[in-house]
Structure formats: structure tokens, C-alpha cells
Chain A
Amino acid sequence: MSIVEVSNLYKTYGPFEAVDNFSFSANKGEILSLVGPDGAGKTSIFRAVCGLIKYDSGQIKIASFDVSRDFEKIKPLLGYMPQTFSLYPDLSVEENLYFYAGLFGLKRQQFDEKKKLLYQFSGLGPFHNRHAGALSGGMKQKLALSCALVHDPEVFVLDEPTTGVDPLSRRQFWDILKNLRAEGSAIIVSTPYIDELELSDRVIFIYRGSKMAEGTPGELVQKFVGQVYQLDLLPTSERMQQLNKIEGITSRRFGASVHIYTRGSHTIEEYHDDLRRIGIDPDLITPVQPELEDTFIQFMGN
């Protein structure tokens, strides 16, 4: 059941179109990920959904309330975690939580119960007296999430919550998101990490304010057109430069190796001569199955 409905959203900053006719919906009990390069419009969309910016046209509905008209009714349903850490660094973990609980009208007793739960999943319990400013990056993000969770919202909007967080904390963070999903919340999250997309129920590729593709991670992989090859050589910038001069194929860094994409039904054999000319042994190239990242690169490249 969809709880967030965004249709034909437009947002401009002067002549710059940040969001261009963007529509999507998010359902209860699912994690929806938005992924795209910096400046793609993710933050603008999130801020519009959370009633923080006015948009030029389109409609945003949360639980059938219109964001631009009935925002006060939406606030209790909504939990928002902005991209930058926005808590009080001079207050302790518990004071931050208690403050947000107070803003949502929780009584002391309700807070004490809620607090136990939040400490349980976040692991912040032992640090409850520590000032928020003195927490590690991962713990800060967990505290921010806890503050956004204190009032049991049904819709979570998380703007790059794991950016700059260590891999272990990232995994723990996603475990929390999965628990929230199990409880029936709708989670809308943006991330620069492709591996996190695999944990999402649905993914939207966004580029320059427009939706490029949407689907489950499996569906999106299927949308890859052409063949993927892996070249087991380090992607030095000199090598990448030479590879990119070869007409007809696209080469991208892929971890410590290179992925080479051919178009349509073309195969890598047609380019062996070109590769040899720049000193690459075709034996180092093996065909591989496309991954989500390949699809993402392809969409962003077009």
C-alpha cells in the first residue's frame, strides 16, 4: 500500500532545474533507494517531501494529506534525517533524544520505554551521557536516526545516512532499516553506495532531476543492454585514457579491475586488435554477468 505519492514534481533554483517532472511512490514495509550523482536532485526531492522547501509544481501526498496544505497533519507521521548532522553537539545523547521526544509530546514514562528500545537497536546505551559532538561518525548517524524515530513515524526520509560512515556501522545501520521495514514503515533513502542498493526493495536511478530507471535491484540488472567484460588489470588513469579512445566500447573502473561494455550484440572479439594496439592482452578479458553498478553506470552514461 503506497503511503507516499509524489507526482510530476518540479523544482527550480533560478534557471537551474533541480527536479524535473519527478514522480514516485513509496509503500509501507519497503525500502526505496534513490541513487544518482551529486546534484542529481535527491536532496531537493527529500526536502520537498518533508515540507522544507516550496516546489514549483506537482503534488506530494503522504497518507493522503497534501504536503503543501496539510503539513501539520503529516509531521507526526514523518521522520527526517538530513544529510548533515543536525543535532545539538553540546547536549548528551540522552538529552538530544529527550528533547525530540518532548517536541513530539512524549511523556517522561513513554520516553523511558522508548529510550530502552532505541538504545537496544542503536547500541548507544553505554554512551548516553556522552555529548553528541564527541560521538564517532557512525554513532552520530545512529543518534540522528534514533531522534527521527522517537515518535514512531510511518515514513522515514533519510538523506545519505551512511555517507562517510565506516563499513561495519553501515551494515549495522542497514540492519536497523530492515527492522523498521519489518515493522511496516516506508523508508526512502538516498545513498552513494551501490552495494546498499542490493538491500533495497526498489531502486530509482536519478540524474539531473529526472528519473532514469526504476525497479527492484533484479529488474534493474536486467535493463542492462550489451555485454559486460572484466579486464583484470589495474585501472590506471593512463590505461583508462587509452581504453576510452577505442570507438564502440565503454570502459569503467570497477574496483581494482576494469569493466568494458560493448553495445547491442557486439562482442569484445571485434575489438581485440584495438586492445592489442594499446598493449592489452585479450586473454585477460573474461565475460561477466552485469551487476547493478554496471546498469547504474550505463544509465548515468547515457
Chain B
Amino acid sequence: MVRTILALMKKEFLQVIRDSNMLRMVFLMPIVQLFLLGYVASTDVKLISTAVYDDDRSGLSREYVRSLSAGEYFITDTPEISLLEAERGFRESRYEVALIIPRGFSRKLQESKQVKIGLMVDGTNANSASIALGYANVITRQFNERVTGFSPPITLRQKRLYNPEGESVYFMVPGIVATLLTMITMLLTSMAIVREREIGTLEQLMVTPISATALILGKTIPFALIGFLEMSVALFLGVTWFRIPFAGSWGLLYALSFLFLFTTLGTGMFISTISTTQQQAMFLTWFFAIFAIMTSGFFAPIANMPRSIQYLTYLNPLRYFMTTVRGIMMKGASLDVLYPQVMAMIIFGITIFTFSWLRFSKRVK
């Protein structure tokens, strides 16, 4: 039994190494995904190009503009412009924000009167617009306090936990780790089994004394190991290149990833029982994966989804793994808070793996 499993495992590794497409997929996928999503899909809002229309032209108004552009959020190095130009700049996407300081700004301030300044934001991207408005509010409040020497009675002492700088990459990398492990194990398992069917070797295997159990183990263990390797590459790059903090236990992350593998390997096996060609297997895997990733909270928070979809996400095993990986990596979560996710992964893992195991055994008998 052990010898046959080892023989099968060795063969699987050889085949992965021989197949240049497979090799590219295995080693380039984590790197490309990480850099693509880590940089391109960044939701951080920085360096907002800002048009300034200063009708006051006073020392105080210039000081306000300076304080706005002091941080790395707003860039106001464009020369002062007219309102007309500002509007055209918006349509040409040269500006995302326009600041309008009315005449009498400094006078009213010195007379301790209320002043209104205008801030227009390009609302095309709702997310970045609201973030820009938030920044402007904070900066204006600080300017108020400095100029008037008066703080309003109630101020919010804000503290962002787990990700103080609000770096989106801290959030994306754990998500990428979870999706990578899902994709690669599902894809490799389903395609490797279907390939044997395609070239007729599966039938040849049936004539050898290999048992269904040995066949399943020999066909899944190699891909579980490759999955762990992928995950480690992504984690290594995440920690060293993107410098994301790792708050929790590495051991727990790997242990719970192992638990989650029963679901992905089982699904891969299931896909192999309903596909006759590698193309079919690949297509079905993507089909399953897209659904799983979209409703896992990887990009959009589940709480933002319509209620009916939210209920549906409970049927998505990746949802629990996504929460687990982010919980461990970002919040340092341990088993006592993760147990609902763990329970769900145990139930999904056992159900899917057993179902696929039985279905696969029946197909090869």
C-alpha cells in the first residue's frame, strides 16, 4: 500500500515537473497573483490630484491649502485655476478633487465667524470619493483647532485595529493565500485524474493491484504538498516583500489549511468524476472557483451583499477559510474564536471528501 502510494506520488511529481504549462501555473501563479492583487487591486487612496481655486488669496487660505497637501493624500502642486478649468479637469480626469476657498475666508476666520469652503469630489469611484472626503474632514478639523485654538467638546479618538495604516495589501495577501490554495489543489487534482482517463492509463491502473484508497491518496497528497508550497511562497513574499505583519500562529494557519484541503481536494476529485477531458475539468474548476471566490469576502465584504446572497455564502466553504486565514494573519485569532469556522470546515471537508471518495471509487471499480 505505502509502496504503491509512493510510486504514484513520485510519478505525479515527475509529471508536474515535465509539464512546462503546469510548472508555470504552479510557480508563476502565486507570484503574479500576489503582485497583481497586491499592487494593482490596492484600494488605498493616496496622491489625489487636487485643483485649488483660491478666491481669498490670503496667507491663511494658503496655509490651509498647505496643510491639506502636507500629507501624502492630496497633491495641490497644480497652479491656481478658475472654476471653469476645474470642471473641465474633472471630465478629463486630471483632477479628482477641487477645493474652492471663497473670498473673505481669512477675514471671517479672524472675526470668528463661520466659514464655508467648497470641496468637490469626482464621485465616479464611490469608494475613493468617500475616503478622500474623510481625509479632508480630518485635516480641516485639525486646521480649525490650530487656528482658533478651540477644540469642539466631542471629538472622536479613532483607532484602527489590526491594520493601523489601512494598508489594503495587508488585507489582500491573506485573501490571495486562501484563493491560491483553493485554486491550485482543485485544479491539479481534477486535471491529473482526468488526464489519466484521457490517455487511457486510468484503465491500465485498474488492472494493477492498486486499491481505490491508494489511488486517491497517491493522487491527492502530491497536490496537497504543492498547494502548501504555493501557499508558503505567497506567505514568504507577503512577509518579506510586502512586509505584512503576521499576528497569529503559523502552525495553526497550516493546520487549518490542511483541514480545508479536504474540501478542495474532494471538489477536485468530484470534478474529475464528471469530466471526460482536461478542458472540461479546467472549465468546471474555474466555474466553481469564481463562485467560491466572489462570495468568500475576498474583494467585497459579505455584509455588503444582498441578504439572500449573504445566506448563500454560508454554503461556500471558502468563506470560512477566508475568515480563518485573515483572522490568523491579521488579528492573531486562535481556535477559541475560530471554532465556528473550523466546525464548518470540518463538516464541509468530511462531506465533500467522503462523497467524492465514494463516487470516485465507484467510477474506477
Q: Which residues of A contact B (CB under 8 A)?
A: 50-52, 72, 75-76, 78-80, 82, 84-91, 95, 98-105, 147
- Report the bound CA distance from A99 to B204 in whole Å: 12
A82/B7 in contact, CB under 8 A: no
What residues of A have a CB within 8 angstroms of the CB of B201 in the complex?
86-88
- Report the bound CA distance from A104 to B208 in whole Å: 7
- Report the bound CA distance from A50 to B203 in whole Å: 10
25 contacts between A and B (CB under 8 A): A51-B206, A52-B203, A52-B206, A52-B207, A75-B207, A76-B209, A82-B200, A85-B200, A86-B199, A86-B204, A87-B201, A88-B11, A88-B15, A88-B201, A91-B15, A91-B18, A95-B14, A99-B7, A99-B8, A102-B7, A102-B8, A103-B4, A103-B8, A103-B205, A105-B209
Cβ of B10 < 8 Å from any Cβ of A? yes
Name the residue of chain B whose CB is nearest to the CB of A133.
B199
New contact pairs (7) apart from A86-B203, A89-B199, CB-CB < 8 Å = A76-B209, A78-B207, A82-B203, A91-B14, A100-B208, A101-B7, A105-B4
B3/A102 in contact, CB under 8 A: yes
What residues of B have a CB within 8 angstroms of the CB of A84 in the complex?
200
What residues of A have a CB within 8 angstroms of the CB of B3 in the complex?
102, 105
B207/A51 in contact, CB under 8 A: yes
What residues of B have a CB within 8 angstroms of the CB of A104 in the complex?
208-209
Q: Which residues of B contact A (CB under 8 A)?
A: 3-4, 6-8, 10-11, 14-15, 18-19, 199-201, 203-210
- Report the bound CA distance from A82 to B11 in whole Å: 21
B4/A50 in contact, CB under 8 A: no
Name the residue of chain A whose CB is nearest to the CB of B210.
A103
- Report the bound CA distance from A141 to B135 in whole Å: 73
Report the minimum CB–CB distance from A243 to chain B (whole Å).
42
- Report the bound CA distance from A89 to B19 in whole Å: 11
B208/A103 in contact, CB under 8 A: yes
Report the minimum CB–CB distance from A293 to chain B (whole Å).
31
What residues of A have a CB within 8 angstroms of the CB of B207 in the complex?
50-52, 75, 78-80
Of A50, A82, A90, A102, which is within 8 A of B6 by CB? A102
Report the minimum CB–CB distance from A167 to chain B (whole Å).
26
Report the minimum CB–CB distance from A104 to chain B (whole Å).
6
B11/A99 in contact, CB under 8 A: yes
- Report the bound CA distance from A203 to B120 in whole Å: 93
Report the minimum CB–CB distance from A59 to chain B (whole Å).
19
B11/A75 in contact, CB under 8 A: no
- Report the bound CA distance from A78 to B206 in whole Å: 11
Report the minimum CB–CB distance from A147 to chain B (whole Å).
8
Report the minimum CB–CB distance from B13 to chain A (whole Å).
11
Report the minimum CB–CB distance from B199 to chain A (whole Å).
6
Report the minimum CB–CB distance from A135 to chain B (whole Å).
14
What residues of A have a CB within 8 angstroms of the CB of B10 in the complex?
99, 102
Which one of B8, B205, B209 has the highest number of Cβ atoms from chain A below 10 Å of its Cβ? B209
What residues of A have a CB within 8 angstroms of the CB of B8 in the complex?
99, 102-103
Known: A51-B207, A52-B207, A99-B11. A88 touches B4 (CB 8 A): no
Report the minimum CB–CB distance from A194 to chain B (whole Å).
27
- Report the bound CA distance from A143 to B3 in whole Å: 22
What residues of A have a CB within 8 angstroms of the CB of B203 in the complex?
52, 82, 86
The 5 A-B residue pairs with the shortest CB-CB distance, nearest first, are A102-B7, A86-B200, A103-B208, A90-B18, A75-B209
- Report the bound CA distance from A78 to B204 in whole Å: 11
What residues of A have a CB within 8 angstroms of the CB of B6 in the complex?
102
- Report the bound CA distance from A88 to B10 in whole Å: 13
Report the minimum CB–CB distance from B26 to chain A (whole Å).
15
- Report the bound CA distance from A79 to B3 in whole Å: 20
What residues of A have a CB within 8 angstroms of the CB of B208 in the complex?
75, 100, 103-104
- Report the bound CA distance from A222 to B14 in whole Å: 55
B11/A91 in contact, CB under 8 A: yes
Which one of B14, B201, B208 has the highest number of Cβ atoms from chain A below 10 Å of its Cβ? B208
- Report the bound CA distance from A72 to B206 in whole Å: 10
- Report the bound CA distance from A98 to B7 in whole Å: 8
Name the residue of chain B whose CB is nearest to the CB of A90.
B18
- Report the bound CA distance from A104 to B205 in whole Å: 10
- Report the bound CA distance from A50 to B199 in whole Å: 18
Report the minimum CB–CB distance from A107 to chain B (whole Å).
8
What residues of A have a CB within 8 angstroms of the CB of B199 in the complex?
86, 88-89
Report the minimum CB–CB distance from A186 to chain B (whole Å).
16
Report the minimum CB–CB distance from B83 to chain A (whole Å).
68
A80/B209 in contact, CB under 8 A: no
Name the residue of chain B whose CB is nearest to the CB of A81.
B204
- Report the bound CA distance from A52 to B305 in whole Å: 50
- Report the bound CA distance from A103 to B14 in whole Å: 16
- Report the bound CA distance from A85 to B4 in whole Å: 22
What residues of B have a CB within 8 angstroms of the CB of A78 in the complex?
207
Name the residue of chain A whose CB is nearest to the CB of B18.
A90
What residues of A have a CB within 8 angstroms of the CB of B15 in the complex?
88, 90-91
Known: A104-B209, A105-B4. A95 touches B204 (CB 8 A): no
Report the minimum CB–CB distance from A152 to chain B (whole Å).
13
What residues of B have a CB within 8 angstroms of the CB of A85 in the complex?
200
- Report the bound CA distance from A43 to B8 in whole Å: 27
- Report the bound CA distance from A128 to B4 in whole Å: 22
B11/A95 in contact, CB under 8 A: yes
A90/B4 in contact, CB under 8 A: no
Report the minimum CB–CB distance from A255 to chain B (whole Å).
34
- Report the bound CA distance from A89 to B15 in whole Å: 10
Report the minimum CB–CB distance from A29 to chain B (whole Å).
22
- Report the bound CA distance from A255 to B6 in whole Å: 52
- Report the bound CA distance from A79 to B207 in whole Å: 8
What residues of A have a CB within 8 angstroms of the CB of B4 in the complex?
102-103, 105
- Report the bound CA distance from A78 to B209 in whole Å: 10
